[in-house]
């Protein structure tokens, strides 16, 4: 395992002239030895590019990749001692499940007894023990991908195991089991795991730290709780959560804010000017009619079972509120008051969180 540091930018064009020409804008990241990380963001944000720079499938156009302080820009994935699991299964159909799992170890000269012991440990963790002698050719795509996961995890001496959206072909009913297995495997084996996904549930349940990515930038690095509670960028607030964070444009005079024609106490000292107020649906509540808060009009009411979801309009903007299932729900067309300024509210300027 290794401490992996990235101080780089990457462009596929030979002479990048603007930010739009970069697949990855300048970043400075460190992945600690033995940590579990997720690179989270939509398609095209630079997640797979970053993973391929770590593995050695790409060399950075600017800057360095360092493993334990050593620059490895010119090293191959084999020289970096990287294991990588891709979106689709990479296994040998002519081999049995056990032979596929053992292949990376045999290539490194492990003896039969040691190989058998390690294969047995990984097979048990992934629920493959009963099929070790079965030919891989007759297995389903999701079963083959589980073998691919095992091949990535079987070597205990790797610098890191990299996962590029590895649950793409997995049956939805199995995904939660595999996420739980990977979390357990990380705790037991203490491997450095870096996991690329666009699925927030996968990222937040798997990783100790999440790298939120947007348009080639790493906009926030932190624990799942930090990204949910205090999104450092409006993109993170929007992308994480179901539904995502509500955002309202406001005008600040330093202490008060004006939003949708109403004047409210901002709850803290603020810079003067145009800001964005962000508050999650979970942290909004309905206030008594005629009380404090911000006026809104109910446009939709949904009973989701575990909670109620109320959609409102505040001026020209949509706001969603999550309420407990035992709370009385308003009707469509009702006027309500919302406590948009509370202990969980966040303020943003130019999309960045104000301290």
CB atoms within 10 A of CB 56: 20
Q: Beta-carbon neighbour count of residue 49 at 10 Å?
A: 23
DSSP category for residue 306: S
Q: How many helices (H) and strands (E) does the chain have?
A: 9, 21
DSSP 8-class letter at 168 = T
- Tokens 């404090």, located at residue: 292
* pLDDT score at 98: 97
Q: How many of the other CB atoms lie within 10 Å of CB of 273?
A: 11
Cβ distance 198 to 43 under 8 Å?
Answer: yes
- Give me the helix-helix angle, 141-153 and 112-125, nearest 10°: 130
Question: Quick one: which of 127, 148, 136 has its CA closest to 95?
Answer: 136
Per-residue model confidence as pLDDT tens for the chain (355 residues): 789 999 999 999 999 999 999 999 999 999 999 999 999 999 999 999 999 999 999 999 999 999 999 999 999 999 999 999 998 898 999 999 999 999 999 999 999 999 999 999 999 999 999 999 999 998 998 899 999 999 999 999 899 999 999 988 888 888 888 888 888 888 888 889 999 999 999 999 889 999 999 999 999 999 999 999 999 999 999 999 999 999 999 999 999 999 999 999 999 999 999 999 999 999 999 987 767 899 999 999 999 888 999 999 999 999 999 999 888 889 999 999 999 999 999 999 999 999 9
Residue 159 DSSP symbol: S
User: What is the pLDDT at residue 184?
Assistant: 86
pLDDT tens per residue across span 311-342? 999 999 999 999 998 888 899 999 999 999 99
The span from the CA of 351 to the CA of 275, in Å, is: 9
- Sign of the alpha-carbon torsion through 28, 163, 55, 190: positive
Chain length of the chain: 355
Predicted pLDDT at 44: 93
Cα 85–chain centre separation: 17
Q: What is the pLDDT of residue 178?
A: 86
Place of tokens 């179901």: 242
Q: Torsion angle, CA of 22/44/355/201, rounded to 10 degrees? A: -150
Do the beta carbons of residue 44 and residue 26 sit within 8 Å?
A: no
DSSP 3-state assignment of 151?
A: helix
Alpha-carbon distance 81 to 84, whole Å?
Answer: 10
Closest CA relative to residue 334, chosen from 286, 291, 293: 286
Rounded to the nearest integer, the mean pLDDT of the chain is 94
Is 259 within 8 Å of 233 (Cβ atoms)? Answer: no
- What pTM, to 2 d.p., does this model score? 0.90
């Amino acid at each position: 395992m290794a401490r992996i540091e990235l101080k780089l930018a990457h462009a596929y064009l030979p002479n990048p002239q603007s930010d739009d020409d970069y697949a990855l804008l300048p970043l400075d990241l460190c992945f600690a030895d033995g940590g579990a990380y997720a690179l989270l963001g939509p398609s095209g944000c630079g997640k797979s590019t970053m993973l391929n720079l770590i593995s050695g499938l790409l060399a950075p156009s600017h800057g360095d990749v360092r493993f334990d302080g050593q620059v490895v820009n010119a090293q191959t994935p084999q020289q970096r001692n990287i294991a990588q699991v891709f979106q689709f299964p990479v296994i040998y159909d002519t081999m049995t499940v056990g032979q596929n799992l053992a292949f990376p170890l045999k290539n490194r000269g492990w003896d039969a007894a040691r190989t058998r012991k390690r294969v047995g440990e990984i097979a048990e963790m992934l629920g493959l023990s009963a099929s070790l002698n079965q030919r891989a050719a007759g297995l389903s795509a999701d079963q083959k991908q589980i073998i691919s996961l095992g091949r990535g995890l079987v070597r205990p001496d790797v610098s890191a195991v990299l996962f590029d959206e590895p649950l793409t072909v997995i049956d939805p009913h199995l995904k939660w089991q595999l996420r739980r297995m990977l979390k357990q495997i990380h705790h037991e084996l203490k491997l450095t795991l870096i996991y690329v996904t666009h699925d927030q549930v996968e990222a937040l349940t798997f990783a100790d730290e999440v790298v939120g990515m947007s348009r080639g930038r790493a906009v926030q690095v932190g624990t799942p709780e930090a990204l949910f509670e205090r999104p450092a960028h409006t993109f993170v607030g929007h992308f994480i959560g179901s539904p995502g964070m509500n955002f309202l444009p406001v005008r600040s005079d330093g202490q008060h804010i004006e939003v949708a024609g109403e004047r409210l106490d901002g709850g803290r000292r603020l810079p003067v000017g145009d800001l964005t107020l962000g508050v999650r649906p979970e942290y909004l509540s309905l206030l008594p009619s005629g009380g404090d808060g911000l006026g809104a009009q109910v446009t939709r009411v949904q009973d989701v079972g575990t909670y109620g979801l109320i959609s409102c309009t505040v001026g020209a903007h949509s706001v969603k509120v999550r309420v407990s299932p035992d709370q009385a729900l308003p009707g469509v067309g009702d006027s309500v008051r919302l406590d948009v300024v509370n202990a969980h509210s966040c303020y943003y300027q130019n999309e960045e969180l104000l301290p």
